[in-house]
Amino acid sequence: MGGPPNKKQKREEHRNEAKAEGELPKKKFYRQRAHANPFSDHALTYPASPSQMDWTPHYPSFVATKSEVKPESDAADEATTPRLDRQLEIADIGCGFGGLLFALAPKYPDSLILGLEIRTSVTEYVEQKILAMRAQAKNPSVQPNITKLGPLDEDTKPPKSELNEDTKPPPTNPDPSPTAVSPSQVPGSYTNISVLRANTMKFLPNLFPPTSLSKIFLCFPDPHFKTRKHKARIVSPGLVSEYAYVMKPGGVAYTITDVEDLHLWMCSAFRGSGGLFEEVPGDVWEEREGEDGLDGGGKGMGEAWEAEVREDVRIMREETEEGKKVTRNGGQKFVGVWRRVADPPWP
């Protein structure tokens, strides 16, 4: 008999015990050192190609019915790989503890959003939390951790297709999980988000078919200050080519960091991509006074698009764990917004 359980024991117990349905995981038991070496050969599993990836365990609400399955060119994969009824569209590369995912979920309930994270325990945390949030949405009575709610609605899921500019979540509070809104009122009920443990630097082309993503978020990436570590940065001239490859023309890549040096590096990588990305200027994505989504004065891409970009930037700034930490410390946030344009013509 030792004494009281030590840290490691408590951590394992919390992670392994069967949780009550809808019980949220506690972050303190999932912490892992922030730096993982992306060049190592982790014991990762990844598909040999995108068509061999089975996403159905991640998004069980979106499994294709027989009639929805489109004929694929690769017959062998078609026969064995279960299909979803739509492609993944939004990726959060380096999603950490999932703040952005949970904020984006109700905004885009018809789009599949994937968080990618290389650290094992952090991925586990997000997995557990997604399951908990989904369970809460199905059964509102199971909500032990939520204290800030008003009277609950009946257990009816709102139609997935509705997304008004008006139904924004209430103002943010210091608590990281969006508990101020009853999960059953959340469009999509978090069925459209999931997380995958992956080394994005190496295996992005294995996961996503070309021109499939409409949004990529790169939030507060590891700065890797030393020159010899610059190659490990998640945005680099070589990787910008890969991001362009998996993105649709017209899709948008968002970057944010509090390290100015890194911001300048990322900007020069996107700018120097030989015309694959076009910079979306600050006056388009900066927050506007009295914004309710229908401001005039947009240029080029259409007002609705610009309003969407502004909202994405606001979420990225305010809803990630890192973003909130930076606000608390009084730091600066540097934002970059890049629109994927079509490939240049052959010479």
Partner 1 sequence: MQEDLATKVMHHPFQCIAGLEQGDRQFLLAACGVELLAYSIAGRKVASKWCSGITDSVAETVNSHANYSNERPAKKQKIDNKTTSPPSKIISIRSSPDQCHVVVVTDDKVIYVLNVSPNGAFTEISQRAMPKRPCAVRILPDSSTILIGDKFGDVYSLPLIVSKSKDQSAQAEAQEVERTAEPAIFKPSATPLTVHTKRNLRALESQKKQKIVTPRKEPLAFEHRLLLGHVSMLTDMIHATREVDGKTRRYILTADRDEHIRVSRGPPQSHVIEGYCLGHTDFVSKICLIPGSDLLVSGGGNDWLGVWDWPRCELLAKVDLRKAISHLPSSVDEKIAVSGMWTVPVAAQTDRWALCVACEKLPALVFIDCSALGDGSPADTAVTVFKTGEAPVLDVTYYGAKAGCTLLALDDRRFDGCRVRAVQVNGTVDDGETGSKLTISEVDTLGEPLLQLSASTGTVEDNTALDSFLYTTANLRKRGGWDDENEA
List interacting residues with partner 1 (CB under 8 A).
32-33, 35-43, 48-50, 73, 119-121, 201-203, 205-206, 210, 223, 225, 227, 231, 236-242, 244-245, 258-262, 273-274, 276, 325-326, 329-332, 343-344, 346-347
Tell the smallest beta-carbon distance from residue 227 to partner 1 (Å): 7
On whether 199 is known to bind a ligand per the annotation, the reply is yes
The CB density around residue 134, as the number of other CB atoms within 10 Å, is: 21
Tell the smallest beta-carbon distance from residue 67 to partner 1 (Å): 27
On whether 242 is known to bind a ligand per the annotation, the reply is no
Closer of 52 and 167 to partner 1 (Cβ): 52
Distance CA 255, CA 284 (A): 15
- Structure-token pair, residue 332: 């600066």
On whether 118 is known to bind a ligand per the annotation, the reply is yes
Pairing of β 193-197 and β 213-219: unpaired
Marked catalytic residue, from 222, 258, 283, 292:
222
On whether 123 is known to bind a ligand per the annotation, the reply is no
Closer of 87 and 236 to partner 1 (Cβ): 236
Closer of 77 and 85 to partner 1 (Cβ): 77
Number of residues that this document lists for the chain: 347
Task: Kindly list the strands in the beta sheet with 88-93, ordered across the sheet, starting from the edge strand earlier in the chain.
Answer: 193-197, 112-117, 88-93, 213-219, 247-257, 334-340, 277-279
On whether 191 is known to bind a ligand per the annotation, the reply is no
Closer of 45 and 67 to partner 1 (Cβ): 45
C-beta of residue 143 within 8 angstroms of C-beta of residue 185: no
Distance CA 157, CA 2 (A): 49
Closer of 180 and 259 to partner 1 (Cβ): 259
On whether 12 is known to bind a ligand per the annotation, the reply is no
Pairing of β 112-117 and β 88-93: parallel
222 is a catalytic site residue: yes
In Å, what is the CA distance from 96 to each residue of 34, 83, 101, 204, 331? 9, 27, 10, 17, 19
In Å, what is the CA distance from 130 to each residue of 24, 41, 56, 121, 126? 9, 28, 15, 14, 6
Closer of 105 and 234 to partner 1 (Cβ): 234
C-beta of residue 129 within 8 angstroms of C-beta of residue 194: no
Distance CA 107, CA 100 (A): 11
Tell the smallest beta-carbon distance from residue 52 to partner 1 (Å): 9
Tell the smallest beta-carbon distance from residue 205 to partner 1 (Å): 5
Strands (E) located in 164-273: 193-197, 213-219, 247-257
Q: Who's near 153: CB < 8 A, 6+ residues apart?
A: 140, 182, 184, 185
On whether 256 is known to bind a ligand per the annotation, the reply is no
- Structure-token pair, residue 257: 């960091």
Nearest partner of 312 among 341, 279, 338, 340, judged by Cα: 338
C-beta of residue 103 within 8 angstroms of C-beta of residue 319: yes
Active site (catalytic) residues: 222
Known binding positions: 94, 117-118, 199-200, 219, 320-322
Known binding residues for S-adenosyl-L-methionine are 94, 117-118, 199-200, 219, 320-322
